[in-house]
A and B are shown apart, each in its own frame.
Chain A
Amino acid sequence: MIALESVSKRYGSKTVIHDVSFDVGQGEIVGFLGPNGAGKTTTMRMIAGYTTPTSGRITVAGLDMATQNEAAARKIGYLPEHPPLYDVLDVSTFLRFVAKVKGVPPREIPSDLERVIAACHLEAVFRSEIFKLSKGYRQRLGLAQALLGKPDVLLLDEPTAGLDPGQIQETREVIRAFGENHAVLLSTHILHEVTLICQRVAIIDRGRLLAIDTPSGLQTASEQTNSVMLEATAPADPLREELLSIEGVNAVRVQSIPGRLSTHMVECQVNARDGIEARIARAVASRWELHRLERQQPTLENVFLRYVRAGAGAREAT
């Protein structure tokens, strides 16, 4: 339903998207994962037709975005990064306006409005002016306008930003239900989010597509970036040797703490196995004084580094 073929975007001499190709099929939810500034929003905007690629081709539902922009726009529901809402209008007037522009037949507008209002839980604010809405409601109104006109393709740029945990859960349900028989491309910088609702994940960094992986592949990559931080009063070299002798510890980095004699800060790269913290704690505390120990959550940056290294390794091998 969505296909990108060697798409690049340049602003002057600066290339922000480098030769990106991927596709999203019907009945598929694809996560578009990358840190801030990776090029997610620019790519989404090109697919939605807000900007045009410098080179390459984008098709949506078989329609070329360069030549059949208006016809393709009827197939797309798009929620930009900042929900585009008219503050002076009220919720119902705004949704009616979008429905009319999307070409929903006049007699079907009330039922279409009802459908999206129910899906996005906007009943309580139907008559409210938009400038009075909370951030969560604004985000959901943005999603509601994207769902109007029964689009074939949904492009969602960070749809759960600004929502509370309950609303995040509800929004994910809406996306999941929609994705059962439509195509959804969902951008986010939250690792956990894509593993929950996406069938595939496209990973982008600095305008380059690093990999297209499954959520389980991503899960494995993130688990391999686990680390345990600890602070102990112990001589550096014996501490390092002791830690490396523990099964599951792959690498150790010892740093001294300025002003605190023989106390060290240690970062251990570990396999994601249960109980590794306990083994490290036992080993250190039995010989020295252990002050603090905590497991670090895998960060997106570390996961990216793994994909970047994997990509570089693959290139060297060929």
Chain B
Amino acid sequence: MRGLFAIYQKELITYFRSPIAYFVVSVFLLGTGYFFLYNVFMTGIGTMNETLQNMGVLLLIVVPVITMRLFSGEYTGRTIELLMTLPLKPWQIVLGKYLGATTILLLMTLATCIDLIPLYLYGTPETKTILSGYIGFVLLGMACLAIGQFFSALTQNQIVAALITVPVLLVFWFVGHLQSFQSSYALRDLFGYLSFAQHFADFIRGLVRSEAVMFYLMISAIALTLNTSYLQWRR
């Protein structure tokens, strides 16, 4: 466990000693702030529903920037040779890095809570719905991070890693739209099940369904397992 924790600490220090974390968090908060102002003050509806929906879309752009360096950076800096020869198991490296990235996601999420102050001051929002939306947002983010981290392990080039992650996340986001073109019930169900957006919409409405929670956790687990297997295979 000490190895895993050391990797986690190193990841956090690395994020905050390079401009990436500051840039990503700033862009995300600026975007969220804009959508919040637009959704609440322009329409006069005092909920976080629309804003959370917009945050989900922003995440698809922001996550690849957070994850692109996770392994690609280790390859180009040749530090992967150090990690793979230290007394660490590949899963410890993968999980340590993932927890580091998840911490950035949590900090980002926490910072958006500033939007709740005017919401509670001037409106009567439903706390449980907001909480459910935030749980969905974090779970969605964790699934996206795991996918991004896996693609980062596949290439030495950080830009390529980000450029692969964005369309893959977009496919997961929009796959639900394919439902309307299918006559087969099985395919409609499958596309609906795989849709990041549809599961997230449930959370935003205030529904914390165990199926949706399991879906996001399972996507994360599959991506992290593939990531670990890939590192093992590279040996």
Contact = CB atoms under 8 A, between A and B. Distances in A.
Contact of B85 (A78, A82, A88): A78
A76 B88 contact: no
Contact of B79 (A76, A84, A93, A100): A84
Interface in B1-28: 2-3, 5-7, 9-10, 13-14, 17-18
B18 A88 contact: yes
A308 to B, nearest CB: 31
Interface of B, secondary structure class, is: helix
B6 A84 contact: no
Contacts, number: 73
B6 A101 contact: yes
A87 B2 contact: no
A48 B88 contact: no
B5 to A, nearest CB: 8
Given A93-B13, A103-B2, A73 B86 contact: yes
A74 B81 contact: no
Chain A: number of interface residues, binned into ranges: 20 to 34
Chain B: number of interface residues, binned into ranges: 20 to 34
Contact of A50 (B10, B18, B84): B84
A145 interface: yes
B173 to A, nearest CB: 32
Given A52-B235, A103-B2, A86 B81 contact: no
Contacts of A145: 82
Contact of B235 (A50, A84, A87, A88): A50
Contacts of A88: 13-14, 17-18
Interface string B91-107: 00000000000000000
B6 A97 contact: yes
A224 to B, nearest CB: 38
26 contacts: A48-B81, A50-B85, A51-B235, A52-B235, A70-B87, A70-B88, A70-B89, A71-B87, A73-B86, A80-B78, A84-B79, A85-B77, A85-B79, A86-B10, A88-B17, A88-B18, A89-B13, A89-B17, A93-B13, A97-B9, A98-B82, A100-B2, A100-B3, A101-B6, A101-B88, A103-B87
**8 shortest interchain CB distances as A-B pairs:** A84-B82, A100-B6, A73-B87, A88-B17, A84-B79, A48-B85, A74-B87, A101-B86
